[in-house]
Amino acid sequence: MKTKALTAAQIDTLAQHLSETPIEPATSAKKAGDTFARLLAARIGAERAALSFTSIMTAATADQAEARLTLVLDYGNTETAGEAIPTVDEMPKAAAAAIIGKRQAILDQAQTGALPQEPDFSKPTHARFRAKLAQIVALAEAGDIAALQAFEINPVSSSPKARARYRDLALIAILARQKKR
């Protein structure tokens, strides 16, 4: 069975089940999904909402999504959250982190000054690039901006691309540290 993505209007209808006040129609399915996720987390808790959201959004039809939402709301929710539904500005950073992707989270971490985790080059396909990665890691740990910028990488396959990504994130982290000083 093929699933068809829910439209913004269908997601808005689902979100309306979670809100007592009328919801403004969303201009895109992404915005509607963000609103729905926020309302669902406020209603049943962030942990349960994270699990339920995917199940609801991947339903084959809008009717099936509505049925799944009803099940989530009616069963297993013995305690009400009892909290006011936060606006987007009031959402805690942890809830916002759940919405953003892994790449954005890694970039945000680098922008705080934390060096990124070095790529895993333990597989045999990366063997010939381990020495170059070790050089980049050493330069990053030393905080040598000029040497990192001068380190030439031709990103034509997965190993060089991973090294380039690590180098660029390390530069962001080192520059962020210097700005803090």
For residue 51, name the pLDDT band (cuts at 50, 70, 90). Answer: confident
Question: Does pLDDT of 105 surpass 50?
Answer: yes
25 with 88, same domain: the answer is yes
List the domain range (segments joined by +) for residue 108: 104-180
What confidence tens digit (pLDDT) does each residue in 76-94 have? 544 445 555 555 565 555 5
For residue 141, name the pLDDT band (cuts at 50, 70, 90). Answer: very high
Residue 1 lies in a domain: no
85 with 32, same domain: the answer is yes
Give the C-alpha separation, 142 to 83, whole Å. 47
Residue 16, pLDDT score = 86
For the chain, the domain total comes to 2
| Nearest alpha carbon to residue 87 among 45, 51, 34 | 34
pLDDT (average), residues 41-67:
83
84 with 134, same domain: the answer is no
| The two structure tokens encoding residue 117 | 């985790």
pLDDT (average), residues 30-49:
85
Residue 9, pLDDT score = 86
Single pTM value for the model: 0.47
The mean pLDDT value of the chain amounts to: 82
Domain boundary among 55, 79, 99: 99
Q: Tell me which amino acid residue 100 is.
A: I
Residue 154 lies in a domain: yes
pLDDT (average), residues 39-55:
83
Question: Does pLDDT of 4 surpass 60?
Answer: yes
Domain boundary among 50, 79, 99: 99
Percent of the chain with pLDDT over 70: 84
57 with 124, same domain: the answer is no
169 with 120, same domain: the answer is yes
Question: For the stretch 65-83, what's the b/e string if a residue is b when 16 or more beta carbons lie within 10 angstroms of its beta carbon?
Answer: bbebbeebeeeeeeeeeee
